[in-house]
Homo-oligomer: A and B are copies of this chain.
Amino acid sequence: MTVRIGLVGTGTVGGGCIDILQAHRADFARHYGIDVELARVCSRNPEQAESHGVADLFTGDYHDIVNDPTIDVVVELIGGTTVARDVVLSALNAGKAVVTANKALMATHGQEVMEAAERNGVEVAFEASVGGGIPIIDPLKHSLIANEITSVMGIVNGTTNYMLTRMAEDDLSYEAALKEAQAKGFAEADPSADVDGFDAAAKIAILASIAFNSRVTLDEVYTRGITNISPVDLEAAKGMGYAVKLLAIAHRTAAGIDVRVHPTMIPEDHQLAKVNGVFNAIYVVGDAVGETMFFGEGAGAGPAASAVMGDVLEVARHLAADVKPLVGCTCTDELPIMPLEELSMKYYVRFTVEDQLGVLATIARIFAEHNVSLHSVMQRGREESGSVDVVYVTHRAQERDIRAAIDEIEATEGMLLADPSLIRVEE
């Protein structure tokens, strides 16, 4: 059987998909009994189609794809939540299966997309929206379904993991690490989505929704990035036996789903602490399976296209067997989101202050007044400039208390010479 694909978006990932189809079409026919035919490609850049030798399939108007009755599967790779949403919804409403890599769309309009698929009796697959080529959505929807999943924690943004690795291993400043990541093509000219944590937040919203069978949307994820992290923090963490990672965290708790993205200290023997450079990894704990981790390349043409084309082939298998979607929306429960303020954990806070005894006394007093008890205080570097970094590690404290304390310290005139660095500790 022939399954005809319409590809919307021919950039890095779309190009990777064309490459895979051109390399392996005959293998797919032999292994899976399906002829996967690229029927049409749509983009704003005709030269991308040309450079992949598919200029004859080009259109500049995605309606030529979603309205083409001979196309079976629409692959949406343009990203964003406006045109992409139109493409996906119109394709589903036209009775076509959809494969997308769009994390923002799924984390924001996931319910609308799943309902449109359900209504039209077609499949929507989005493995590439999280973790690049790493199989994670599929295992959560299939292999691990006998478990109650209790935690999902991921290093799901390669750019920031690369930067943190360089800062930890080679003492690069935040600015130098960012510049290098941009030079290597890992970070965008405007790096905000990566360094401010929003890319990771969309991904954990998707993972939490599947893992806990309850919808989590992007706006429900507490999100802090790595912009205030300095090599001082990574070195101090190392001295305490921890690595610092931008973790996307989702825990099932009695009070609801605890879901957040922020710089996190994890013990250096934790499997996630060993994931360095641009690699991604998602750590999943289930009540039966215990600890598992899924590791791989989180971005790039090949890995993302591997996930997209894996979805395409799986959808094609179902079409070839004339099978209705077997797994639709998995959000069969409605769990509350746990307010961050109710969390309790250990915290690492670094303040850059003038080297005066009075300042340290004031900080200690404010912590004490907010019921934050300190495990350790360390002074670090910079004496020559008259300013010092003071690192506090707390005992277990309430999130509401630590934040009130930091707010008060920040509001006290003449105290801080720079934004504080706050790192939560995950044991």
In the assembled complex, the Cα of A306 lies from the Cα of B146 at a distance in Å of 6
The verdict on A119 contacting chain B, using a C-beta distance below 8 Å, is no
CB contacts (< 8 Å) of A24 on chain B: these are 146, 148
Digit string of A284-325 for contact with B (CB within 8 Å is 1, else 0)?
001111111111110010110111111011100110010110
In the assembled complex, the Cα of A147 lies from the Cα of B30 at a distance in Å of 14
The verdict on A143 contacting chain B, using a C-beta distance below 8 Å, is yes
CB pair B288 A330 closer than 8 Å: no
The verdict on A371 contacting chain B, using a C-beta distance below 8 Å, is no
In the assembled complex, the Cα of A394 lies from the Cα of B32 at a distance in Å of 44
Residue with the greatest number of chain B CB neighbours at <10 A, chosen from A147, A148, A286, A309: A147
For chain A, the count of residues having a C-beta within 8 Å of the partner chain is: 61
CB of A78 to closest CB in B, whole Å: 20
Residue with the greatest number of chain B CB neighbours at <10 A, chosen from A310, A312, A314, A318: A310
Closest residue of chain B to A300, judged by CB?
B290
Copies in the complex: 2
Digit string of A137-168 for contact with B (CB within 8 Å is 1, else 0)?
01100111111100000000000000000000
CB pair A310 B143 closer than 8 Å: yes
CB pair B16 A145 closer than 8 Å: no
CB of A284 to closest CB in B, whole Å: 9
Pick the contact of A317: B20, B28, B314, B327 (CB < 8 A): B327
CB contacts (< 8 Å) of A310 on chain B: these are 142-147
CB pair A146 B312 closer than 8 Å: yes
CB contacts (< 8 Å) of A288 on chain B: these are 16, 19-20, 133, 302-303, 305-306, 309
The verdict on A46 contacting chain B, using a C-beta distance below 8 Å, is no
Question: Which A residues from 327 to 349 make CB contacts under 8 A with B?
Answer: 327, 330, 332-333
CB of A100 to closest CB in B, whole Å: 15
In the assembled complex, the Cα of A296 lies from the Cα of B286 at a distance in Å of 11
Digit string of A21-65 for contact with B (CB within 8 Å is 1, else 0)?
001100110111000000000000000000000000000000000
Question: Which A residues from 89 to 136 make CB contacts under 8 A with B?
Answer: 127, 133-135
The verdict on A403 contacting chain B, using a C-beta distance below 8 Å, is no
The verdict on A274 contacting chain B, using a C-beta distance below 8 Å, is yes
In the assembled complex, the Cα of A166 lies from the Cα of B333 at a distance in Å of 44
CB pair A135 B135 closer than 8 Å: yes
CB pair B303 A289 closer than 8 Å: yes
CB pair A30 B290 closer than 8 Å: no
Closest residue of chain B to A305, judged by CB?
B288
CB pair B290 A134 closer than 8 Å: no
CB of A117 to closest CB in B, whole Å: 16
Would you list the 10 A-B pairs with minimal beta carbon distance, nearest first?
A135-B143, A146-B309, A133-B289, A292-B296, A289-B306, A288-B306, A293-B295, A135-B139, A288-B302, A138-B143
Interface residues of A, Cβ cutoff 8 Å to B: 16, 19-20, 23-24, 27-28, 30-32, 127, 133-135, 138-139, 142-148, 213, 271, 274, 279, 286-297, 300, 302-303, 305-310, 312-314, 317-318, 321, 323-324, 326-327, 330, 332-333
What are 20 A-B contacts defined by CB distance under 8 Å?
A16-B288, A20-B288, A27-B148, A31-B145, A133-B289, A134-B292, A135-B144, A139-B143, A145-B310, A145-B314, A146-B305, A146-B306, A279-B291, A287-B302, A290-B303, A292-B294, A292-B297, A293-B295, A293-B296, A295-B295
A23-B287, A290-B303 given; name 4 further pairs at CB < 8 Å. Answer: A31-B330, A142-B310, A145-B314, A146-B306
